[in-house]
């Protein structure tokens, strides 16, 4: 199985008031094509920093990050920006969208900005509407972003992340601002996208989210302390086994 993301000895250090804050320390892991990997850990453990660093949104202090066989630190800023736009998708807990645009126009933005997306404007529009239909939000296409629910808006963010048909989606607490019902709906859509072939790496504090992923990485104090591979197919046994492992990790 091909590795789409390979991280070796990754370190990230911030200097705050002339003091070093080592947020990530010699982190190594990989993600195979088609996987859905969750990153869990206590607050301040480095989860989000890890996600931002391996996706090229933040720079590394040391170590290597290979995405689709490209070393991120070797890319020029414009090359890295193009890579993030064309080959990666992003979903955040806070659903960042432009208030002066409709939901549909927000979804279309990445495709309109991409030089690599060869679809015509008509084809881009058709693809955006197709994604909205698949995620069950066709009826809000012309709405302003303040006229829809949080669950609908997060599904719109998923549509936006898929506009350039990325090789991998990075999601930071994608259900963190949602109630349980909306959270389940969003995870249903992410799992569907994953089954269709898109690789996903997500940060979560919710075991009910992590249990739906194929693998869980547990990070503490900037180090990956453990890795859990699901072996149970039954949903209840799967969740029970994951919760037991998390307790053993110190969750």
3-state secondary structure string, 146-167? HHCCHHHHHHHHHHHHHCCCCC
What's the pLDDT at 165? 95
**What is the predicted pLDDT for the residue at 125?**
97
User: Rounded to whole angstroms, how far apart are CA atoms 161 and 38?
Assistant: 18
Q: Give me the pLDDT at residue 231, please.
A: 82
Q: Which pLDDT score, from 0 to 100, does residue 27 have? A: 96
| pLDDT per residue as tens, the chain (251 positions) | 899 999 999 999 988 887 888 899 999 999 999 999 999 999 889 999 999 999 999 999 999 999 999 999 999 999 999 999 999 999 998 878 999 999 999 999 999 999 999 999 999 999 999 999 999 999 999 999 999 999 999 999 999 999 999 999 999 999 988 889 989 999 999 999 999 999 999 999 999 999 999 999 999 999 999 999 988 888 889 999 999 999 999 88
CA separation for the pair 138, 145 (Å, rounded): 14
CA distance 36 to 6: 15
CA 169 to chain centre: 5
> So what CATH class is 3-94+168-249?
alpha beta
Say if residues 177 and 95 touch (Cβ distance below 8 Å).
yes
Phi/psi at 24 (5° precision): -125, 135
């Amino acid at each position: 199985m091909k590795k789409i993301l390979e991280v070796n000895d990754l370190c990230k250090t911030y200097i705050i008031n002339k003091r070093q804050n080592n947020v990530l320390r010699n982190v190594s892991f990989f993600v195979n094509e088609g996987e859905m990997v969750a990153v869990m850990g206590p607050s301040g453990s480095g989860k989000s920093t890890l996600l931002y660093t391996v996706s090229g949104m933040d720079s590394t202090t040391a170590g290597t990050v290979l995405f689709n066989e490209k070393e991120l630190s070797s890319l020029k800023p414009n090359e890295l920006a193009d890579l993030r736009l064309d080959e990666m998708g992003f979903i955040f807990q806070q659903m960042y969208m432009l208030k002066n645009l409709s939901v549909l126009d927000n979804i279309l933005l990445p495709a309109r900005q991409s030089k690599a997306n060869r679809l015509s404007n008509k084809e881009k529009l058709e693809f955006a509407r197709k994604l909205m239909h698949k995620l069950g939000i066709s009826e809000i296409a012309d709405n302003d972003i303040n006229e829809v629910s949080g669950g609908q808006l997060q599904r719109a963010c998923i549509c936006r992340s898929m506009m350039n048909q990325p090789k991998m989606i990075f999601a930071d607490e994608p259900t963190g601002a949602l109630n349980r019902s909306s959270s389940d709906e969003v995870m249903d859509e992410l799992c569907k996208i994953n089954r269709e072939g898109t690789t996903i790496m997500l940060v979560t504090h919710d075991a009910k989210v992590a249990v739906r992923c194929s693998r869980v990485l547990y990070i503490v104090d900037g180090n990956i302390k453990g890795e859990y591979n699901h072996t149970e197919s039954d949903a209840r046994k799967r969740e029970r086994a994951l919760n037991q492992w998390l307790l053993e990790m110190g969750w």
